[in-house]
Structure 1
Amino acid sequence: MLSKSAFPLLLLNMFLANLSMGLVIPILPELLKEYEAGGQAAGYLVSCFGLTQFLFSPLAGNWSDRYGRKPMFIIGLFLFALSNLMAALAGDLTLLFVSRLISGMGSAALIPAIIAYVADITTDDQRSKAMSWLGASMTSGFIIGPGAGGLLAELGIKAPFYASALVGILAMICSLWMLPESLSLEVRQLRQQALEKKDNIFRQIALSVQSRYFILLLIVFALTFGLTHFEAIFPLFVVQSYGFTTREIAILLTICSLIGTFNQIVLTNRITQRFGEKRIVGAMLLLSAVSLVFLLFSGNFYYVMFVTMLFFTFGNILRPTINTLLSKEAGEEQGFVAGMNNAYTSLGTIFGPMLAGILYDIHIGLPYTFGAFVLLVSGFVAMRGLKRKSSSAAF
């Protein structure tokens, strides 16, 4: 049965795990100016979080099954607090990079354990609703992160990191004393004694290339690539091109994220029922590409807000639609497909910001034109590939 005392803590922990990703975005221009760094450094700062999350997620998930969910919560929250404290105390760019790598490790420890804990303590009837709440807390972390980072920065450029570290420590203490272990001792001992050998993440990705749902996984990568490509250099772009302040960036990203999430809730089910998931995937990719290009046309604050809101809306509609298609294609391989979904998302988080930073240093508008090109090509590939799969399924 679902524990009323445990579930709010799980939501808080999921919120914190995703808060850290967006916290640094609006203060990035000032941080890089302080360290005399450019666009490449901005891209790498976002990418390194995804790198350690990608590398450590399979290991952390395995430890969660063997040694319990609660130890992974404590480890994840400790690393979360440590990374933010290191970022606050960082006197150079190297220590800031280390803090982001540690933050990715903390997220890898925390998120799979939270999802597994929810599965442990819920019945089949409760699980869908519980996962929806979990998804809402995850989205809230992404939404509030940039806004909180920008507003707290008015107290000092490092204030967001200190505040985040303090909240992480409090969450760790609460989890340590109030959160019961969801796996029995007998189950943990049996799993520790088991010698089952699992394929590493690179072998699993190689297997996914040969699967019937590979094109959908590529779309997951393209979507994440485009989103992180946008976010990694967005603060630098609007500061250098249009003179936006840290407060304006925080307000803009927060409002656009909230509207994008609202549009997702209101529109996704309606338009997919009318047009079907496969058409929506292609259309949202193409519209996302167009919105990225339109971002280059004007520096008016409300114009930029409108275009950014459209971009977030298209991405927010696209994500659950792809997840639905993946679930339908997975059949008996739901666990494997869910893992691959996370892996391709992490790869997009690694390569999107990295390339955006490199292109930004070449030309300020190049990341958005290239990001639009990737999304455009992905849209045409999705429309042709998914249409071909529909035609094959009809015979």
Structure 2
Amino acid sequence: MGMEKEIKTLSHLFVTVFLWGFATMMVVPAITDVTMMALCPGLDECSLAIYLSGFQQAIIGLGTLVMMPVIGNLSDQYGRKAMLTLPLTLSIIPLAILAYRRSISFFYAYYALRTLTAMVCEGSINCLALAYVADNISERQRASAFGILLGVLSASFVCGTLAARFLSTTSAFQAATIVSMLAAAYMRVFLKDDVPNDDDDDLTRPIITEETEGVNQNESNSPVKIPVCKKIPSIRDLICLLRSSVTLSQAAVVAFFSGLSEGGMQASFLYFLKAQFHFNKNQFADLMLIAGLAGTISQLLFMPLLAPILGEAKLLSLGLFAACINMFICSISWSAWVPYATTAFSVLVVFATPSFRSIVSKQVGPNEQGKAQGCISGISSFANIVSPLIFSPLTALFLSKGAPFNFPGFSIMCIGLASMVAFIQSLMMSHTPASSKSQNQCCLA
């Protein structure tokens, strides 16, 4: 099957992901202002808002740390479509609350329900979409397909941000609620799903199987049964999965430090811009629009061309290095135009995620895609627990009048150092040949 035919099989997934991303991004530029208006009306700097956002991010990270491997593993059993229904449906509820009213009581209701629902929704849609792509695309074309998927997601972010730029806050939440409902309905009606089947080929045999017989060829020809794997993976199962491949173990380190930096930017960057340059909803939207447009063009046009030439490993390192430089420059922003200029790095930064996910997907068989992607997402979620605990107090401290020294962007620079660790680890990653997957079986007691 050619690349075009393989990609065509993903068209309904792309529409689902686009609608969900469009709805999600439509409200992101407004959330900071909504939070500030509810907690600290009339102020540009609010430590309470920073701490509450960081606390929410940590709790969500704790929940997703547990839920991502579970959802990924269950999708291997029951199919991607069945599991996608849950996060797509739950994500509607918080949007509907702020679409109705944004008083302080409704804000706290949103805050509580957003925290609870995001434990299931945060990252799970991306995780399941990546597993769905891996189910339907050959290994040779997988990096390009992942790039196209994330390019579609970036395009939805651009369109959602553009809509937020011209809609009022009330209209943005109402439209986001309707589009979220449309995404869930479209997925249920049109997306086709097949529960992955066992493959007899040794090259694609899963690491952790449900019911498998192995043969010890070095000692005897007698079969050795591997115990049945539980549908809800334990910590031991996940550790076994990571230890089965040197590449997966190294990928876990990259996932942690990359997640640490991404979580830090999510928790701190918009509040830094608000305090330093008095950015508002429209300026946040402009900034996200430029970055999203650059990322979309890069993932849809450049990624499919460069992946077969350079390979996932080089693209991963290139993307992480660009992320480091971006954060270091943002940390010393001396004018309001600097954050806009650094969005040019988005062209390279977006190479990291699809390349990384492609490397991970090639280390496991077809029945392990959900589990592997969920495990990596869980590690990133753990980083999101740690990140706000470190960077939210640091950001609040250096944006306050009681800072130890005058460096408002100090927390952003520290976030860049975390990204630098991920970059260095990516340079040292080994890349196990696909043929070794036949030996990567774990015996789980």
| Same fold, TM-score > 0.5, yes or no | yes
Count matched residues: 375
TM-superposed CA distance for 1:229, in Å, is: 1.7
Cα distance change, pair 206–138 in 1 and its aligned pair in 2 (3 A): same
Alpha carbons 1:28, 1:235 under 8 Å: kept: no
How far did residue 102 of structure 1 move? 0.9
Note the residue ranges of structure 2 that are not aligned, 5 or more in a row. Answer: 40-47, 199-209, 211-227, 400-408, 433-445
The amino acid across from 1:291 in the alignment is: N
Q: Which amino acid aligns with 1:322?
A: F
Identity of aligned residues (%): 19
The one-character-per-residue Cα deviations of 1:65-91 (angstroms, maximum 9, x if unpaired) are: 555555444433321211311344462
1:298 maps to which residue? 333
- Aligned partners of 1:331, 1:251: CA distance in 2, in Å? 40
Gaps of 5+ in 1: 390-395
**Residue 10 (1) aligns with residue 13 (2):** yes
Work out whether residues 322 and 348 of structure 2, in 8 Å CA contact, stay in contact via their aligned partners in 1.
Answer: yes
Matches within 5 A, 1:67-216: 67=78, 69-88=80-99, 89=101, 91-93=106-108, 95-106=110-121, 110-111=125-126, 114=129, 133-152=148-167, 155-156=168-169, 158-176=170-188, 178-179=189-190, 182-183=193-194, 196-198=229-231, 200=233, 202-207=235-240, 210=243, 211-213=245-247, 214-216=249-251
Shift of 1:39: 1.2
1:17–1:80 CA contact under 8 A, matched in 2: no
Return the match for 1:368 from 404, 412, 425.
412
Structure 1 residues 183-224: Cα deviation after superposition (integer angstroms, max 9, x where no partner): 59xx9xxx9xxx741462533443356441222321122223
Structure 1 counterpart of 2:330, one-letter code: L
Corresponding residue for 1:262? Answer: 297
Over 3 Å counting, the alpha-carbon distance change for 1:300 and 1:125 in structure 2 is closer
**Partner AA of 1:289 in structure 2:** C
Q: Determine the C-alpha separation between the residues in 2 that align with 1:119 and 1:199.
A: 21
| Greater Cα shift, 26-35 or 195-204 | 195-204
Deviations 1:86-127 (A, max 9, x none): 34446243532322431442456655555566677x586998
TM-score w.r.t. length of structure 1: 0.75
Which structure: greater helix fraction? Answer: 1
Residues 304-319 of structure 1 aligned to structure 2 (within 5 Å):
304-310=339-345, 312-319=346-353
Distance in 2 between residues matched to 1:285 and 1:217, nearest whole Å: 15
Q: Distance in 2 between matches of 1:284 and 1:6?
A: 28
Deviation readout 1:5-48 (Å, 9 max, x if unpaired)? 99654323223444465444322331221232321222334454
Q: Which has the larger radius of gyration?
A: 2
**What are the superposed Cα offsets for residues 232-275 of structure 1, whole Å, 9 maximum, x if unpaired?**
32221112101222111101111122113434556557777887
CA RMSD of the aligned region, Å?
4.3
State the one-letter code of the partner of 1:202: I
For 1:130 and 1:278, the matched residues in 2 are separated by 16
- Cα pair 2:147 2:303 within 8 Å, conserved: no
Partner residue of 1:26 out of 25, 29, 53: 29
Q: 1:372 to 1:163 in 2, by over 3 A?
A: same
Residue of structure 2 equivalent to 1:378: 422
Q: TM-score, normalised by structure 2?
A: 0.68
Per-residue CA distance 1:292-311 (angstroms, 9 max, x = gap): 1211333534322111332x
Residue in 2 that maps onto 1:59: 70
Q: Which amino acid aligns with 1:91?
A: F
Q: Is the Cα contact below 8 Å between 2:70 and 2:233 reproduced in 1? A: no
Q: Deviations over 1:315-341 (max 9, x none)?
A: 21222333454456x265963543433
Equivalent-residue separation in structure 2 for 1:284 and 1:97 (angstroms): 35
CA distance in 2, matches of 1:260, 1:5: 22
